[in-house]
Amino acid sequence: MKIRTAMMFILALGVSTLANAAGEIVIKFSHVVAPDTPKGRAAEKFKQLAEEKTKGKVKVEIYPNSQLYKDREEIEALQIGAVQMLAPSLSKFGPMGAREFEVFDLPYIFPNKETLYRVMDGDVGKKLFAKLESKGVMGLTFWDNGFKQMSANRPLINVADFKGLKMRIQSSKVLDATMKALGANPQVMAFSEVYTGLQQGVVDGTENPVSNFYTQKMNEVQKYMTISQHNYLGYAVVVNKKFWEGLPVDVRTALESAMKETTAFERDIAQQENDEALAKVKAAKTTDIHYQSPKERLDWYKALLPVHKEFEDVIGKDIIQAVYSTASQVEKELVKK
């Protein structure tokens, strides 16, 4: 409803690039996580650099913690120009018809961050961004968060422990299949609703990098976490295409430079933010942390690997193969070192 009203307002104005009363170009940057997360801190960094580099011609307004829009709404808001910039997780592009993004959700597909960055910054990343253009959205860059850990109110050691558990997932069919392959019952839920969902038992467990887990206080409502690193969570920074293309060239160039610096900063801090969050969860003593044995990890891996094949047609064999070959190239280089 909110969105529809905004849409009518914007259509009535017939514009998507707006200057405020002070003559500044305003970029509304909406996101769903806390400010003290990799994405939250990067949004602040971008604001600082963008305002500096455009010498005040641009003002970036950040709306964290789903203050303006929840998961699905924020993408609609971007498309109609109610906000100009977002950084949704890569799992949230499927419902807008860009199912190829779900390659990032495939369990265990990225053996390390080096493979991940090469895939994001290479041909696969470009191909994915090209899919967005017809939807009025333009991809600028990819940001990192981290590998996800599983949590619940029962220990999650063996695959059998998932049986019948209601697990919150993002709106990705690959994540749905992943939870089903473990024997769980996946439930799509907006990020802003997860804490309450867990507290009230609407869902029993979830998966997230620890930075998201801790900053949403999920440790208060989850007794067990397994350091499983079974899949990945990262972001695409996207803008409203019409807005971006309508910017004066000098402004756009300055913003591109700000974004490039921000991406380097973001990827630098992501691991550290997750490490610190894990230390805080341990210190809170609310959640028992289990580190998987190699045998346990192998059992999960065997249960989840068929998901790759299941999604070959949806994601594209070529995209999946490109990730595999990047992974083996990185592996070879690591062995040589």
Positions touching ligand LMR (CB under 6 A) are: 32-33, 39, 89, 145, 170, 191, 208, 212, 233
Please tell me the distance from the alpha carbon of residue 14 to that of residue 157, in angstroms, as a whole number. Answer: 55
Q: Residue with CB nearest ligand LMR?
A: 89
Residue 219: name the closest of 228, 229, 206 by CA. 206
Q: Please say which residue, 115 or 208, places its beta carbon nearer to ligand LMR.
A: 208
> CB 145 → ligand LMR: shortest distance, Å?
6
CB of 181 to ligand LMR, least distance (A): 19
User: What is the rounded CA–CA span in Å between residue 156 and residue 224?
Assistant: 7
Extract the tokens encoding 325: 């070959």
Q: Are 160 and 183 in contact (CB under 8 A)?
A: yes
Q: How far apart are CA 27 and CA 29, in angstroms?
A: 6
State the minimum distance, in angstroms, from the CB of residue 66 to ligand LMR: 9
Please say which residue, 115 or 212, places its beta carbon nearer to ligand LMR: 212
Nearer to ligand LMR, 54 or 206 (CB): 206
Considering only CA atoms, which of 24, 16, 14, 27 is closest in space to residue 87?
27
Q: How many CA atoms lie within 13 A of 323 on its CB side?
A: 25
Nearer to ligand LMR by C-beta: 188 or 305?
A: 188
Q: How far is the CB of 72 from ligand LMR (least distance, A)?
A: 11
Between strands 137-147 and 206-208, the pairing is: unpaired
CB of 200 to ligand LMR, least distance (A): 18
| Closer residue to ligand LMR, CB minimum distance, 53 or 99 | 99
Q: Which residue has the tokens 């009518």?
A: 8
